[in-house]
Amino acid sequence: MELRNKLGAAALLAATAMASLAGCGGRDDDDNKDAGPGCTGVCSTDAGTDAGTDAGTDAGTDAGTDAGAGMTVAAVRKVPFGSAVTLRNVVVHTIDYEKLSDQNQTSWRSRFWVVDPLKPTEGISVEKFYDDTPDNYHPQPGDVIDIEGFFGSEANFEQFRGRRQRIANDFRNGKIMKITVKSTGGTRIAPNEVTTENLAASQAFVQADAGYLGTRVHVTGALSLTNPQPTAFMRVDSADAGTVYYGYELTGGVLINHVNTRNQSDGGTEGRCDFQAAALDGGAVSFPNGVTGVFDTYTFAACEDGGTDILNCRRVDGKVPGTTRNYTYVVQPDNCADLGGVVTPVVPE
């Protein structure tokens, strides 16, 4: 049985201003749950502010120098965007997206999170493209790897994950990310034990000072679904705004991104646990053993034309609906096992 990391005080969490450096073009489409309009590097045109704080870094920082000795994740999050960075002996804990190349059937594109086993409250997203080396590396939870890449953020208009800090290649300058696989088949790092108060406190801080950001967390205690349609998860459009929500809210204001657990719109073949739908049907939803998932940023990028094809339209920079914030922090479960929800159906009168 996994031993969970016992953490004491509320973590300081957060985010720095998001500037973008690497360019666009020549890459295949992203996954269909949050695909963008073709810009897949660190390619935002906005070098301005994030959560009201100016990054204050030079986007022209030389990315051509050797990454050198290993760094902590916390240190990586504080360097100027575009800086060469190195992480040593970090552990893959969650896979967000993966695709095998249609062209050669050997190269993998992957988006995943890693955690420092010596500092388990520190994690970060990593984006591997097909030509990053080794090109055939297919990340799995428990893998121990070294990463030599470049620090930046997702483009502001990337759906759901815009402005999220991550390590990737420097595509614009023709510099790949290098991964060294130290071991495979290892044990997934246990999630950090946190309270609803820990996560609520995080909303006041920016990514560069993150405590649990980019890691798997287990939100302890008996929780309940309190709002099946929180404004923060609303789809913003000019047609039927307010009818689609991409997650729900639990006790203490914890937001759950249900991209991996909601029922698929086409019916699908994968059995899921759509607790939002259950709550909207009048059922009471509880999570007696808490919930688990990756703790990271969330934003919504509306279509410029106000349309509803949010994965394929030309989009504006992301915001949290109903607020002026650029992003918020949410928990994203892998699957239904991360939730363990119990539905008490409404009793007909």
What was the pLDDT predicted at 64?
Answer: 39
The arithmetic mean of pLDDT across residues 57-71, rounded, is 48
- Is the pTM above the cut of 0.95? no
Lowest mean pLDDT among 54-68, 109-123, 278-292, 296-310: 54-68
Q: Where are the domains of the chain?
A: 49-183, 192-344
What was the pLDDT predicted at 271?
Answer: 63
CATH T-level fold of 49-183: OB fold (Dihydrolipoamide Acetyltransferase, E2P) (2.40.50)
DSSP string, 177-245: -EEEEEE-S-PPPPPEEE-HHHHHHHTTS-GGG-SSTTEEEEE-S-EEEEESS-GGGBPP-SSSTTS-B
Phi-psi region of 82 (alpha: psi -120 to 50; beta: other; left: phi over 0): left
How many Cβ atoms are within 10 Å of 40's Cβ, its own excluded?
Answer: 25
- The span from the CA of 90 to the CA of 188, in Å, is 11
- The span from the CA of 205 to the CA of 207, in Å, is 7
pLDDT above 50: residue 11: no
Lowest mean pLDDT among 93-107, 109-123, 240-254, 300-314: 240-254
pLDDT grade, residue 292 (50/70/90)?
A: very high
- The span from the CA of 52 to the CA of 343, in Å, is 40
Tens of pLDDT, residue by residue over 112-143, are: 999 999 999 999 999 999 999 999 999 999 99
